Structure formats: structure tokens, C-alpha cells
Structure 1
């Protein structure tokens, strides 16, 4: 069975979000620390400008890779584990390595709201 339009659109947004090296670095940092980080910490750790980091964090949040919460005047970011756990399956589906009927079904692709 081929992918549905909705699945293809979702997967395209994920792959597009990962098409920038800075976003890969941010996702890697958040994945490997396993903790919530503020923009300032991300900026300092990766030697980015604040506006650059904020832009890339927004892109990653908008596609569901990141979760965010307000803490006082700061916004803290963490990895959305539900989304990242499903990403390898998305890649396998696109490449034809996994049958669509054997994959997790929508809306379960991003079970935790972004």
C-alpha cells in the first residue's frame, strides 16, 4: 500500500526539519543531554546567535521533534520522545522497507502533542 497524502506530508515535514545542520546539532544536544534546556544554554553550548537558535527551535517544535514549556520568563525545550521513536519507521516506510499496514498508524505518529 502506498503512503497516504497525509503521511507523505508529515514525513516530508520531518525530513525538511532535519535538512539543516544546525537543527541536527540542536536535536543531538537535546537528545544526548536528556534534560530540558533553555535557549541561552543551547546558544552557549553550540556557539549560535540567539535569533538563529530560536528560529531552528521553532522549526523543530512545529514538526513535533521538540516539546517546550514556559518556566518563568524562559522557555525550556526537550525532545519529544514519541516523535523521535517513530522517525526510523517513517524512514523505513518511505524507502519501502516497512509495509504501511505494519507501521504505527496516524494519529499515533506524534502521540504527544507538540
Structure 2
């Protein structure tokens, strides 16, 4: 009988899935991935047409699971996609579904 994922790994993957369970967060990840360069909160707000406090909250949640990385420039924060973590996401889905995965990439930056 096959065993389920170890609890620690399952908890990490569940946090990733929860982070993408909101359409605005999916839009933000998509925007940053397609933009290819760090963006300010103001730029993200204009692109997704959601209030600044809402975008900031979503960015905090995405940063908590390392989908986005923040850098400070003066008084502004700029966010960029964490390619290493986003590259791991399809692998995580395969692992959860029990599909064979060639080598597990590192998802931490």
C-alpha cells in the first residue's frame, strides 16, 4: 500500500495551494511573471484594478509562501516573482497526485 506525503511536505504544498486560491493573487503572480521585472505596489494596483491595501495584503500572503520577493528602494517596496518557487509549483502538484517527478528542485531563495 502506498503512503501519503509526509505531513510537513503536505503542509507546505497546502500553503502554496491556499496562496493561489484567490483570483486576485493569481492575477498578481501572473502579472509579475509576465512583467519580468520588479514592480511597485502602485503599478500592481493599476494593473489589477484593486485597492492598494488589498494588493498589499495579497502581496504579503504571496511573500509568505515565497511566490514573490520584496526589495526596498528608498521608501518604496518592489515585488518580483520568485522563479525558483514558481518553477516548483507544477512539481508539487505532480507529487501530490502521485505522478513521477524527475528530481525535486529547491524552492527557496
Contact residue 69 and residue 75 of structure 1 kept, 8 A: yes
TM-superposed deviation, 1:104: 1.3
1:1-114 to structure 2, matched below 5 A, reads: 2-98=4-100, 103-104=103-104, 108=106, 110-112=107-109
Distance in 1, matches of 2:36 and 2:14, equals 26
Higher relative contact order (CA 8 A, sep 6+): 1
TM-score, length of structure 1 as denominator length: 0.88
Uncovered stretches (5+) of structure 2, i.e. residues with no partner:
none
List structure 1 runs of 4+ shifted beyond 2 angstroms: none
Aligned-partner SS, 1:77: strand
Tell me if structure 1 keeps the 8 A contact 2:66–2:108: no
**Number of residues of Structure 1 aligned to a counterpart in Structure 2:** 107
Deviations 1:31-55 (A, max 9, x none): 0000100000000111110000000
